[in-house]
Amino acid sequence: MVVLSFDSAPTAQSSDPYEWQTLSDSPFFLDRPEALGGSWSLLQDANNVRSHSSSKVAYYFPKGVGDYHFGERHPMKPARLTITNRLVLGYGLHKDMDVFTPRMASREELEWFHDEDYVEFLSSVTPSTPLSAAFTRFNFADDCPVFDGMYDFCRSYAGASLAAAKKLCSGTADIAINWSGGLHHAKKSEASGFCYVNDIVLAIMELLRYHPRVLYIDIDIHHGDGVQEAFYNSNRVLTVSFHKYGNDFFPCTGALSEVGTGLGKHFCLNVPLQDGIDDGAYVSLFKSIIEPCITTFRPESIVLQCGADSLGLDRLGCFNLSIAAHGECVRFVKSFGLPLLVLGGGGYTVRNVARCWSYETAVLTGRCIPDKLPSTEYDAFFGPNRRLHEPLQAGRVENQNPRVALEKIRIEVLDQLRYMHGAPSVQMHELPPDLSGAWLEEDNLTKPEG
């Protein structure tokens, strides 16, 4: 039995403003100042450093997607998407990507997965609609309120994920990013957990038209239940979710015993974790599971949901992950060189969500960006220091994940892989023509003033 080596020792504090205090001293971080040696001084102000082997990256930002409002006290804030986009532009990362404004998904496309009655309700309900049995039937309540523009909001983020999937299928991009997507809780005929339309399922369905096997990875703190449920009987999609489980934590699913049924048995893997997991344990466990998943299942594309509520200090979270550790999971998945769709998800401390997804955009483009955040109209959100890697340890949660428990989880999860007997073969029939026509409208984004 191989026992993982976890490094949970705290990092030394320093007065150096460029020392990334959130970085673990575990060997999986290749961007630590110590590892960079003399090159660190060059990277302090690096703004246009590109890797020698860069991937072609497509970036999707639906017009106006950050302008919607769930309600004053609701934790989901679409404005986080606008702030993320401003940081991406401020760092100049758009220069290393093809940037697109996709059209909204059509009703027909939403009904690829969602029931017609549900989509009809979603498209017609307004904040002034009188309460009826349909609100209960479709689970519209406090978590999933009706708000102005809700249907267009759903069509916007779903359209972006579909466009990104189509871009990968066309072979004209290696990586496609849609931070507005990743709403993994929505069910076939039910809203759930701030999610109304499951853009992930729609995107995977599009990928499956061209790719025999798709790997779905979820690093949101909440279990990816909607995606798991959609493909629970399929051996063409391997779902792997790393999440908090137990003590009635939403959505109360994602146990080790949930492994799929029928053809999909053993093609559903869950990694249930407890409060307070830290950088070393999480990243080591992630790598030790994801690599054998890829080599055994042999996917032709990967969908990675990057919910930022697994970061330390998240308003609804209880993990201790740094932005660097979260981003290391993204870098590791990218390193396999497979077509990769990267999506957002949860994340309820807005300033840290924007930091995280901006950093991960840099990871995906192969850019090394400075710790000092670029100046934008949202500077007030980031306090006086305006750092990318602000320490997230002020509200550190006690780590309730002992090594023995994590090793047991790793063994049980990987034990499911031996039942796969290699990747399933799929008879690929003649592909249907595109249903949509022109999906992409290139948007000439420029760095905003200020």
Q: What is the pLDDT of residues 193-238, one digit of tens each?
A: 999 999 999 999 999 999 999 999 999 999 999 999 999 999 999 9
* C-alpha–C-alpha distance, residues 442 and 111, integer Å: 26
14 lies in a domain? Answer: no
Residue 399 lies in a domain: yes
Residue 96, judged by CB atoms within 10 A of its CB (0-12, 13-18, 19+), counts as buried
Kindly state whether residue 361 falls inside one of the protein's structural domains: yes
Average pLDDT over residues 90-118: 98
Residue located via tokens 């979603």: 122
193 residue type, one letter: G
- Split at pLDDT 50, 70, 90, the class of 75 is very high
CA distance linking residue 374 with residue 371, whole number of Å: 9
Asked if residue 325 is part of any domain, the answer here is yes
CATH number at residue 193: 3.40.800.20
- Structure confidence at residue 108 (pLDDT): 98
Residue 326 bears catalytic tag: no
Q: Can you say how many angstroms the Cα of residue 276 is from the centroid of all Cα atoms in its chain?
A: 20
Looking at residue 174, its pLDDT comes to 98
Least confident of 2-11, 278-287, 295-304, 344-353: 2-11
Is position 348 annotated in a ligand binding site?
yes
* Residue 109 pLDDT class (50, 70, 90 cuts): very high
Residue 97 falls within a domain, yes or no?
yes
Is 378 labeled as ligand-binding?
Answer: no
State the average pLDDT for the chain.
Answer: 86
Q: Is 25 annotated as a binding residue?
A: no
Q: Give the model's confidence band at 51: pLDDT under 50 very low, under 70 low, under 90 confident, else very high.
A: very low
Question: Any binding-site annotation on 309?
Answer: yes
Contact 66, 80 (CB under 8 A): yes
Q: What are phi and psi of 362, to 5 degrees?
A: -65, -40
Instruction: Give strand pairing partners of 237.
Output: 214
Please write the tens of the pLDDT for every residue from 125-167: 999 999 999 999 999 999 999 999 999 999 999 999 999 999 9
Residue 287, φ and ψ in degrees, nearest 5: -65, -40
Dist CA 256 CA 420 (whole Å): 17
Cβ atoms of residues 29 and 322 within 8 Å: no
Q: Whole domain around residue 383: which residue ranges? A: 55-423+438-442
d(CA 128, CA 117): 20
In angstroms, the CA 180 to CA 434 distance is: 23
- The pLDDT tens digits of the residues spanning 272-290 come to 999 999 999 999 999 999 9
Q: CA 114 → CA 138, 199, 304, 305, 393, distances in Å?
A: 11, 10, 21, 20, 40
Q: pLDDT at position 423, please?
A: 66
pLDDT digits (tens, 9 = 90+) for 10-32: 333 333 333 333 233 333 443 44
Q: What is the pLDDT of residue 87?
A: 98
DSSP per-residue string spanning 186-249: -BTTB-BTTBSS-HHHHHHHHHHTT-S-EEEEE-SSS--HHHHHHTTT-SSEEEEEEEE-STT-
Q: Determine contact, residues 321/233, Cβ cutoff 8 Å.
A: no
pLDDT in tens, 87-99: 999 999 999 999 9
Per-residue pLDDT at 383 = 86
Q: What pLDDT shows up at residue 425? A: 65
16 assigned to some structural domain = no
C-alpha 67/C-alpha 153 separation (Å) is: 9
Q: Do the domain assignments include residue 209?
A: yes
Structure tokens, 355: 């930091």
46 confidence band (pLDDT: 50, 70, 90): very low
Kindly state whether residue 13 falls inside one of the protein's structural domains: no
Among the listed residues 114, 185, 223, 243, the single catalytic one is 185
When divided into structural domains, the chain yields a total of: 1
pTM to 2 decimal places: 0.86
- How is residue 16 written in tokens? 């150096």
Please answer whether residues 203 and 294 qualify as being in contact, where contact means their C-beta atoms are separated by less than 8 angstroms: no
Question: Is 218 labelled a binding residue?
Answer: no
Please tell me the predicted confidence (pLDDT) of residue 166.
98
